[in-house]
Amino acid sequence: MPPGERQPTREEMPSGRLLTPLDAAAEELDAVALTERLGLWERPSEPPARPRVMLNMISSADGRATLTGRSGPLSGPADREFFHALRSCSDAVLVGAGTVRAERYGRMLREEGVRELRVRRGLSPEPLACIVSGRLALPEDIPLLREEESRVVVLTASEASLPETGAQIDYVRSPGEQLDLASAFAELSERFALCTLICEGGPHLARELVAGDLVDEIFLTLSPMLAGGEPSSGQALRILAGMELEPPAHLELLGAARSGSYLFLRYALAR
C-alpha cells in the first residue's frame, strides 16, 4: 500500500466466499455409529467391476504421514477406534508391503463379537487382507502371515510364492514386470466378491492409486502435531509419496468431525 493511503475497513473490503464453522452442537457419534452411516455393509444389486476403494490416512498438521517411520505415533484413541471401525465394515483391507513390515501387521479383527456381527450382515468373518508386494519381500515372522485364521491375497508381478507360515495365502498376479492395479482390483472383485476395500497405505501405494484414478474416497485424520522434516530425506513422507501428480487430484469435502484436537475429514475424489 502506498504511503499515506488509508487501509480499507472490513465493511469496505470486497465480499468473498463465506466460511462455515463446524457446528459444535452437532450430534456426537462414536466410531462405530459414524461408520454405520457410511453404508459400507450394504451390498449393491450387481457385482461392481472393481471394489469401492477408500483410502484411510493420517497426517500431522504440517503434512507428515509418519514419525520415526511409522504412522502410529501420530494417532490417538479416537483415530484408532475409527481405523478399526472402518475395517469392521469392509470386505477387504489393502496395504503395501513396506507398511506391513514397518507396522508389523497382525490379524485384521481380533474381537469375536465383531466377526459374528459381520456374518449376520452377510460378510465374511474378517476382511480379506490384500498386500501389494512387487518382490514378495515379506519376512516370515510377520504376525499376519503366521495367523492361521488370516485370509491373505498378495497382489504381485512376481511368479514366486511365499513360504507356508500359517495364513491361507492366494495370489493375484500381473504379467510383466509391473503390477497392474486396475486389473488386479477387477480380479479381486471377480474371484473374491469384493465390493468395498479400505487402503491403509503406505504413501507410495496411496500415490499410485490416486494417480491411477483408483480411489473413490479419502478418510484423512489431521493429527494436532507439528513434526518438521524434509520429504526428500525419505523419512518425512506425506500421505502421497513419489512424483508430483500432474494434474493434481481435486477433492470434494463430504464430511468432517472432531475428537478433542483431532480432525476427521472425508473427501470424494472429483472425477
Q: So where are the chain's domains?
A: 50-225+235-269
The pTM (predicted TM-score) of the whole model is 0.88
Residue 125 neighbours by CB under 8 Å, 6+ apart: 109, 115, 116, 118, 119
pLDDT in tens, 9-49: 655 655 566 666 766 666 788 888 888 888 887 878 787 88
pLDDT tens for 169-196 read 999 999 888 899 999 999 999 999 999 9
pLDDT band at 200 (very low <50, low <70, confident <90, very high): very high
Contact 104/143 with Cβ under 8 angstroms? yes
In this prediction, residue 271 has a pLDDT band, given cuts at 50, 70 and 90, of confident
What's the confidence (pLDDT) of residue 7?
64
Query: Among the listed ranges 104-108, 228-232, 265-269, which one has the minimum average pLDDT value?
Result: 228-232
Contacts of 133 (CB under 8 A, 6+ apart): 96, 97, 154, 155, 156, 158
Q: Span 50-225+235-269: which CATH code?
A: 3.40.430.10
Nearest to 188 by CA among 13, 2, 49: 49
**Predicted confidence (pLDDT) at residue 108 exceeds the cutoff of 90:** yes
